[in-house]
Amino acid sequence: MEENLEKKIELLKQWMEQSGSIVFFGGAGVSTESGIPDFRSVDGLYNQTYKYPPETIISHSFYVRNPQEFYRFYKDRMLFPDAKPNRAHLALAKLEQEGKLTAVITQNIDGLHQAAGSKEVLELHGSVHRNYCTRCGQFYDLDYVLKSEGVPRCSCGGTIKPDVVLYEEGLDNRILQKSVNAIRNADMLIVGGTSLVVYPAAGLIDYYQGKRLVLINKDKTARDSMADLVINGKIGEVLGAAVGV
Ligand code: APR
């Protein structure tokens, strides 16, 4: 590992040791080391060619107009049932178990933080593990959606929709409020694996008032200048090394 990176990880480790209410805010880059592509990296989902741009397909109006096409894309490109938590997920779960981390706030919908053992996970964009009938509200798990042909149907005949925030849909205010409170009370905020271009999620980091804002990302982000520590590297390796998983 290059010397500069090692030094930064050492500093990250020290700050973690001195902190007792760490909050983590992450995005798709946290799951790429689990084999789930992100959206905006060069090999990300939005840079692959489809009949319609992916941002159009995973929108509310497209879902309503073309549920068949929506589900073909969604099942083909957004479900990774065999993905396993990587060192980043495991490191964050360990920090919570040690009573040092109060919440993981994620834009991801893959459930890997919970699979790694994290308890307080605030899912800003929902989860593929929760699916509800749009007519009667009946819950269905991911397996049911994976096994269904075309558009998944409820026993009542209604169509089943994933509990995932599509473009044009609002975020759950309860989750947003809990996220703002957690960040306001954090003595250390670690932001990682996110390009910080999608709002309101990206705006959450403005609620942090401390002096330990850490940005861990492969690429530069628009917020690098406001961070107290920027580490350009693979978040699984960085957090894994800092926490010892
Ligand atoms: N380690 C560190 N950073 C990584 C890694 C990694 N292993 N892999 C990717 N990254 C970085 C990329 O450099 C990129 O800046 O993670 C970032 C991922 O950014 P996006 O692909 O834009 O994903 P995200 O920020 O989560 O997107 C936010 O956009 O389309 C919506 O709802 C979708 O939740 C998503 C939201």
For residue 26, pLDDT beyond 90: yes
pLDDT in tens, 50-105: 788 889 999 999 999 999 999 999 999 999 999 999 999 999 999 999 999 999 99
Is 107 annotated as belonging to a binding site?
Answer: yes
pLDDT band at 47 (very low <50, low <70, confident <90, very high): confident
Atom of ligand 1 nearest to the CA of 39: 21
Residues in contact with ligand 1 (CB, 6 Å cut-off): 27-29, 32-33, 38-41, 44, 107, 125, 193-195, 197-198, 217-219, 234-236
* Cα–Cα dist 186/24, whole Å: 9
**151 CA to middle of ligand 1, Å?**
28
For residue 49, pLDDT beyond 80: no
Can you spell out the DSSP letters for the chain? --HHHHHHHHHHHHHHHH-SSEEEEE-GGGTGGGT---SSSTTSGGGS--SS-HHHHTBHHHHHH-HHHHHHHHHHHS--TT----HHHHHHHHHHHTT-EEEEEES--S-HHHHTT-S-EEETTEEEEEEEETTT--EE-HHHHHHSSSS-B-TTSPBEEEEE--BTPPPPHHHHHHHHHHHHT-SEEEEES----STTGGGGGGG--SS-EEEE-SS--TTGGG-SEEE-S-HHHHHHHHHT-
pLDDT in tens, 137-192: 999 999 999 999 999 999 999 999 999 999 999 999 999 999 999 999 999 999 99
Question: Rounded to the nearest 10 degrees, what angle do helices 235-243 and 3-18 cross at?
Answer: 50
pLDDT in tens, 104-148: 999 999 999 999 999 999 999 999 999 999 999 999 999 999 999
For residue 41, pLDDT beyond 90: no
pTM for the predicted model, two decimal places: 0.96
Atom 25 of ligand 1: nearest residue by CA position: 194
Atom of ligand 1 nearest to the CA of 167: 32
**Maximum mean pLDDT: which of 41-50, 51-60, 234-243:** 234-243
Place of tokens 């480790």: 13
Active-site position among 89, 113, 125, 129: 125
Encoded amino acid at 229, one letter? L
**What separation in angstroms does the CA of 158 have from each of 132, 138, 152, 153?**
10, 10, 9, 6
pLDDT band at 3 (very low <50, low <70, confident <90, very high): confident
Atom 28 of ligand 1: nearest residue by CA position: 198
**105 CA to middle of ligand 1, Å?**
14
CA geometry: angle 222, 78, 141, nearest 5 deg? 125
153: left (phi over 0), alpha (psi -120 to 50) or beta: beta
**39 CA to middle of ligand 1, Å?**
6
Q: Which of 39, 17, 18 is nearest to 29 (CA)?
A: 39
Q: How much is the pLDDT for 140?
A: 98
For residue 42, pLDDT beyond 90: no
Q: Is 113 an active-site residue?
A: no
Name, in order, each residue with C-beta under 8 angstroms of 36's C-beta and a sequence gap of 6 or more. 28, 80, 83, 110, 112
Is 185 annotated as belonging to a binding site?
Answer: no
Section 45-54 average pLDDT: 81
Name, in order, each residue with C-beta under 8 angstroms of 173's C-beta and a sequence gap of 6 or more. none
